């Protein structure tokens, strides 16, 4: 019986991951960012770090500000993936210092 529970859990996690991936594609398309690759795991990890280190509502605020900062850096010529990585790293470091 535990094997079925583990498989269901694994299937549930895979389903959640697929829903997030599908949502990411739909949202980027809707916002005119078709083709943008989103590291969902990195964004969720940052949200988790921030929620624990600061306060839970800081998670969506942090991810918004990180996205905005990465967008500005990208517009200024920084490679987009690098801009996102650096913004996430800076925000995570700040949260972990709290």
DSSP the chain: -HHHHHHHHHHHHHHHHHHHHHHHHHHHHHTT-TT----HHHHHHHHHHHHHHT-TTHHHHHHHHHHHHHHHHHHTT--HHHHHHHHHHHHHHHHHT-
- Specify the pLDDT at position 2: 42
pTM: 0.83
Q: What is residue 73's predicted lDDT score, i.e. its pLDDT? A: 97
pLDDT score, position 34? 86
- Each domain of the chain, given as residue ranges in start order, spans 1-35, 39-98
Q: What is the pLDDT of residue 3?
A: 47
Query: Which residues of the chain fall below pLDDT 70?
Result: 1-9
Give the pLDDT of residue 8: 53
Predicted pLDDT at 65 = 98
Return the pLDDT at 9: 58
């Amino acid at each position: 019986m535990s094997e079925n529970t583990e498989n269901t859990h694994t299937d549930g996690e895979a389903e959640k991951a697929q829903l997030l991936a599908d949502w990411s594609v739909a949202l980027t398309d809707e916002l005119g960012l078709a083709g943008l690759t989103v590291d969902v795991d990195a964004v969720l990890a940052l949200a988790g770090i921030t929620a624990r280190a600061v306060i839970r509502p800081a998670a969506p605020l942090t991810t918004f500000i990180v996205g905005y900062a990465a967008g500005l850096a990208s517009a200024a010529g920084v490679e987009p993936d690098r801009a996102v990585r650096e913004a996430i790293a800076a925000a995570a470091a700040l949260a972990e210092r709290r």
